[in-house]
Chains A and B, each alone.
Chain A
Amino acid sequence: MSTNKSTLRGTDIPASSITPREVATGRRRFLQASGLGLTGLGGAALGVLPSGVLAADSPGTGLARLSATRNTRYVVTDKPTDVKDVTTYNNFYEFGTDKSDPSRYAGTLRPRPWQVAIEGEVKQPKVYDLDALLKLAPLEERVYRHRCVEGWSMVIPWIGYSLSELIRQVQPTGNAKYVEFVTLADPKQMPGLSYPVLSWPYVEGLRMDEAMHPLSLLTFGLYGEVLPNQNGAPVRMAVPWKYGFKSAKSIVKIRFVERMPLTSWNRAASHEYGFYSNVNPDVDHPRWSQATERRIGEGGIFTPKRKTLMFNGYGDQVASLYQGMDLRKFF
Chain B
Amino acid sequence: MPTSPSEPPAKLPRAGTATANASAGQRPAQRWVAWTKVVVFSVALLPLLRLVLYGFTDQLGANPVEFITRSTGTWTLVMLCITLAVTPLRRLTGFAWWLRFRRMLGLFAFFYGALHFATYFWLDQWFDWISILRDVTGKRPFITVGFAAFVLMVPLALTSPHAMVRRLGGRRWQRLHRAIYAVAVLAILHYWWMKAGKNDLAQPAIYAIVVAGLLGTRLFWALRRWRTASGRR
Contact = CB atoms under 8 A, between A and B. Distances in A.
Given A284-B139, A287-B142, A288-B140, A301 B200 contact: no
B198 A89 contact: no
Nearest to B67: A301
Contacts of B194: 287
A287 B143 CA distance: 9
A169 interface: no
Interface stretch (A54-62, A105-113, A290-298): A290-298
B60 interface: yes
Nearest to A268: B199
A89 B131 contact: no
Given A294-B65, A302-B123, A287 B197 contact: yes
Most chain B CB atoms below 10 A, which of A286, A288, A300: A288
A89 B123 contact: no
Given A287-B197, A304-B126, A89 B62 contact: yes
Given A287-B142, A301-B55, A304-B126, A89 B63 contact: yes
A146 to B, nearest CB: 13
A198 B198 CA distance: 8
A301 B123 contact: yes
Interface residues of B, number: 26
A43 to B, nearest CB: 27
A272 B196 CA distance: 11
A198 B131 contact: no
Nearest to A85: B62
Given A284-B139, A301-B68, A296 B197 contact: no
A296 B63 contact: yes
Contacts of B64: 300-301
A97 interface: yes
B200 A197 contact: yes
A302 B123 CA distance: 6
A10 to B, nearest CB: 19
A85 to B, nearest CB: 4
Interface string B3-25: 00000000000000000000000
Contacts, number: 55
Nearest to A305: B126
A198 B62 contact: no
A269 interface: yes
B139 A97 contact: no
B231 interface: no
B206 to A, nearest CB: 14
A301 B68 CA distance: 9
B61 interface: yes
Contacts of B193: 287
A289 B131 contact: yes
A97 B66 CA distance: 15
Most chain A CB atoms below 10 A, which of B62, B65, B123, B124: B62
28 contacts: A85-B62, A88-B61, A89-B62, A89-B63, A97-B198, A99-B63, A195-B202, A197-B198, A197-B199, A197-B200, A269-B197, A272-B197, A284-B139, A287-B140, A287-B142, A289-B131, A289-B139, A294-B63, A294-B65, A294-B66, A296-B62, A296-B63, A300-B64, A301-B55, A301-B64, A301-B65, A301-B123, A304-B126
Interface of B: 55, 60-66, 68, 123-124, 126, 131, 134-135, 139-142, 193-194, 197-200, 202
Please give me the 3 A-B residue pairs with the lowest Cβ-Cβ distance, nearest first: A89-B62, A85-B62, A304-B126
Given A88-B62, A89-B63, 20 more contacts: A89-B62, A99-B62, A99-B63, A195-B202, A269-B197, A269-B199, A284-B139, A287-B142, A287-B193, A287-B194, A287-B197, A289-B135, A289-B139, A291-B131, A294-B63, A294-B66, A300-B64, A301-B64, A301-B68, A301-B123
